[in-house]
Amino acid sequence: MKAASSPTHKQTFSFKAPDAMSVLLVGDFTHWQQHPIPLKKKRGGIWQTTVALSPGSHHYRFLVDGQWRDDPECTLRTQNPFGTENSVRVVPRA
């Protein structure tokens, strides 16, 4: 018998970088740099993507033109082993 998978919830991630050539979302849900998610550039230099995440805490950062960047909109952060911080997105169960 197969275990039921957790329901996922759509989460939108945004990053303002009007002059950037590329913005990638990387995190524990992308196995960090193994499967980065590209953001699409919208009006006003806002890069955006929507991903389905399972309930729980997810650590992430942005890669902007190859440089690690924090999410300025995220107030929940945790230290990472590289001396910087990861942003944390908490997806509710319901």
CATH number of the domain that residue 26 is part of: 2.60.40.10
The strand pairing partners of 23, in sequence order, are 64
Question: pLDDT tens for residues 22-41?
Answer: 999 999 999 998 999 999 99
Q: Is the dihedral of CA 25, 28, 31, 32 positive or negative?
A: positive
Number of domains in the chain: 1
Within a domain: residue 4?
no
Full-model pTM? 0.89
Q: How confident is the model at residue 6 (pLDDT cuts 50, 70, 90)?
A: low
Within a domain: residue 49?
yes
- Structural domain boundaries, residue 40: 9-91
Within a domain: residue 67?
yes
Within a domain: residue 28?
yes
